Amino acid sequence: MEKLKNKKKIELGDWQTPPDLAIKTCQILLETGICPASIIEPTCGKGSFVLAALETFQSAKCCFGLDISDKYLAETIKKIQPFQNCITTSITQGDFFSFSWEKQIASMPDPVLVIGNPPWVTNSGIGSIGGRNLPKKSNFQNMKGLDAITGKSNFDISEWMIISMLDYLKGRDACLAMLCKTAVARKVLLYGWKNQMPFEWCSIYKINAQQYFDVAVDACFFVVKLGQRTPALHCKIYSDLNHNSFEHLAAFKKNRLIPDIALYEKWKHLIADKDEPFKWRSGIKHDCAKIMELRKENNCFRNGLGERVELEDEYLFPMLKSSDLANGEITSINRYMLVPQHFVGQQTGIIKHNSPKTWDYLQRHSDLLDRRTSVIYRNNPQFSIFGVGDYTFTDWKVAISGFYKNIRFRLIGPYEGKPVVFDDTCYFLSCRSKEEASLLYEILSSQAAEEFFSAYIWWDSKRPITLEILNMLSLVKLADFYGKSALIENVHQDKESHQLIMF
Ligand SMILES: C[S@@+](CC[C@H](N)C(=O)[O-])C[C@H]1O[C@@H](n2cnc3c(N)ncnc32)[C@H](O)[C@@H]1O
């Protein structure tokens, strides 16, 4: 019974908003000059937002609330009883995805405020518990953008709901104000700007979701004002629900969403050109940590299945993971990776002759390795890995974790005579010498580099630092900026003499 209740809670994203948070958000809107005649709460639940909005906005003439769960509706109706003499109210049971929003919105006067907290659940989250609270395909035949969203393997229900509401509000004097994941707010902004939606202004006020909802996710109060004025292609970001907490301005530039446009403008002269000689790489992808990653114990190795194994040295390399790069000093390494190929697609049969114990070990665990589901392993030699090449085996590297919420580069040299490798949560530059690595490390640890990357990083992302962002910065231009053009000269000399640079 309890299990069934939990499943329903997850499927409906049923985390009701605490009344004090609803009141704070309405206060913010009032301070911004929002004076709605109509209030709409599309998933009103127990009515925190309906009540807070009616208490805050004296201008309101009518109010409409919808929720799929009828168990909450009586509570909401009771809460708003005191307003029923002066305001037309309607609290209705219904499914957002099949409700006739066009008709409802057309019957309500401008200015309209759509406010609430749609469910924070993804389609795959719903799928994994066998739920069905999803948009039906037939609903959005005319909504090409939404079609693209539902075509994605994973999307947030709230992203779909917010975008469809914005679509319905086109041409109206309206404001949409929703609590949602910050990642959803970003996707909606990008969608809106790419589709020329009439956003007069937008704001993101970060909230502490742990405090209010006991969930560990980056969330915000997302506000979009729609109207007739020329659309503004920027969004103010606040660190909390307070107008004094303005942090920075995000903007739509060159078809992408730039988190900090001031830093972008300051450092755009350092953007890499097409022929940038330095290239960031991902660490090795093997999708089988239990077998391919081993811990050194005295002279033996222990794999992820807890087996003690003896292997030849040839295919084993000291390895670092994201957590090693992001935290503390690296004084010793006791994790090793089995790297059976030197380049992608290399035949692996040779291991049998070079290192028979390693071959036996791989054969013994071929059931797990052959079961790797990613399509990249199909039609490739047995035990294949990806993200491997000459660049993997250089002694000196500069590396960073893609997962952690800090910009911390590490200078990595060989360990016990072997080059260090990384797993695929890390990125690195492969360097030709210790001197080059030291220089790159020095300039990457500079204020200019930190500010440059900060212009592009959304810290609420699962993987905030990406290859795309790293490769955006020209290390040649950065070296020049810091008067270290010797690096540039060396690189150009190498280019001119047609030496192969192993990046
Ligand atoms: C995060 S809760 C928020 C409730 C309320 N808006 C608040 O802020 O307290 C999400 C609400 O969405 C409702 N809901 C979920 N799926 C729905 C759907 N398809 N149609 C209408 N309401 C839905 C749930 O019943 C739940 O009350």
Do 374 and 485 have their domain in common?
Answer: yes
Tokens 């009771």 map to which residue?
78
Cβ atoms of 316 and 336 within 8 Å: the answer is yes
Q: Phi and psi for 179 in degrees, rounded to 5?
A: -80, 130
Do 295 and 254 have their domain in common?
Answer: no
Instruction: Identify whether 269 is part of a domain.
Output: no
Strands of 281-282's sheet in order across:
281-282, 426-431, 396-401, 410-412
What local confidence, expressed as pLDDT, does residue 150 receive?
Answer: 59
Assigned token pair, 280: 């960031």
| Overall domain count for the chain | 2
Over residues 353-395, the pLDDT tens digits come to 999 999 999 999 999 999 888 888 888 899 999 999 999 999 9
Do 228 and 290 have their domain in common?
Answer: no
Q: Cα of 142 to ligand 1 centre, how many Å?
A: 25
Kindly indicate the confidence band of residue 209, based on its pLDDT and cuts at 50, 70 and 90: very high
Do 346 and 242 have their domain in common?
Answer: no
CATH number for the domain harbouring residue 32: 3.40.50.150
Is 449 close to ligand 1, i.e. is its CB under 6 Å away? no
Give the residue-averaged pLDDT of 205-231.
Answer: 94
DSSP letters for 308-351? EE---STTEEEEE-HHHHHSS------EEEE---SSTT---TTH
- Three-state DSSP at 105 gives helix
Q: Which of 258, 293, 326 is the last residue of a domain?
A: 258
Spatial separation of the C-alpha atoms in residues 468 and 456, rounded to whole Å: 10
Is 49 close to ligand 1, i.e. is its CB under 6 Å away? yes
Q: Which domain holds residue 51?
A: 2-258
Q: Cα of 74 to ligand 1 centre, how many Å?
A: 15
The closest-lying atom of ligand 1 relative to the alpha carbon of residue 72 is 27
Instruction: Identify whether 452 is part of a domain.
Output: yes
Is 117 close to ligand 1, i.e. is its CB under 6 Å away? yes
Kindly indicate the confidence band of residue 495, based on its pLDDT and cuts at 50, 70 and 90: very low
Mean pLDDT of the chain: 91
What local confidence, expressed as pLDDT, does residue 10 receive?
Answer: 86
Amino acid letter for position 297? E
Instruction: Identify whether 307 is part of a domain.
Output: yes
Q: Cα of 96 to ligand 1 centre, how many Å?
A: 9
Do 60 and 195 have their domain in common?
Answer: yes
User: Hey, whose CA ends up nearest to atom 17 of ligand 1?
Assistant: 68
Tokens 């104000």 map to which residue?
177
Do 315 and 442 have their domain in common?
Answer: yes
Spatial separation of the C-alpha atoms in residues 288 and 410, rounded to whole Å: 26
Do 247 and 292 have their domain in common?
Answer: no
Biggest alpha carbon distance in the chain? 88
Q: Cα of 173 to ligand 1 centre, how many Å?
A: 25
Amino acid letter for position 216? A
Q: Cα of 76 to ligand 1 centre, how many Å?
A: 12
Spatial separation of the C-alpha atoms in residues 85 and 352, rounded to whole Å: 85
Spatial separation of the C-alpha atoms in residues 74 and 185, rounded to whole Å: 31
What local confidence, expressed as pLDDT, does residue 501 receive?
Answer: 31
Q: Where are the beta strands (DSSP E) in 73-185?
A: 88-93, 112-116, 174-181
Instruction: Identify whether 264 is part of a domain.
Output: no
Q: Which of 258, 292, 320 is the last residue of a domain?
A: 258
Kindly indicate the confidence band of residue 493, based on its pLDDT and cuts at 50, 70 and 90: low
Assigned token pair, 335: 């994790």
Q: Which of 194, 224, 258 is the last residue of a domain?
A: 258
Is 182 close to ligand 1, i.e. is its CB under 6 Å away? no
Q: Is the pLDDT of residue 143 over 60?
A: no
What local confidence, expressed as pLDDT, does residue 340 receive?
Answer: 96
Spatial separation of the C-alpha atoms in residues 122 and 489, rounded to whole Å: 51
Do 326 and 239 have their domain in common?
Answer: no
Spatial separation of the C-alpha atoms in residues 261 and 268, rounded to whole Å: 10
Least confident of 126-140, 178-192, 467-481: 126-140
Spatial separation of the C-alpha atoms in residues 434 and 451, rounded to whole Å: 26
Assigned token pair, 254: 């060159």
User: Hey, whose CA ends up nearest to atom 12 of ligand 1?
Assistant: 43
Do 133 and 179 have their domain in common?
Answer: yes
Spatial separation of the C-alpha atoms in residues 164 and 149, rounded to whole Å: 11
Do 249 and 344 have their domain in common?
Answer: no
Cβ atoms of 159 and 134 within 8 Å: the answer is no
Residue (of 488, 471, 489, 470) closest to 479 by Cα position? 488
Cβ atoms of 470 and 476 within 8 Å: the answer is no
Instruction: Identify whether 503 is part of a domain.
Output: no
Cβ atoms of 330 and 410 within 8 Å: the answer is yes
The radius of gyration of the chain from alpha carbons, rounded to an integer in Å, stands at: 27
Do 254 and 315 have their domain in common?
Answer: no
Q: Cα of 13 to ligand 1 centre, how many Å?
A: 7
Pairing state between β 62-67 and 38-41: parallel
Do 299 and 218 have their domain in common?
Answer: no
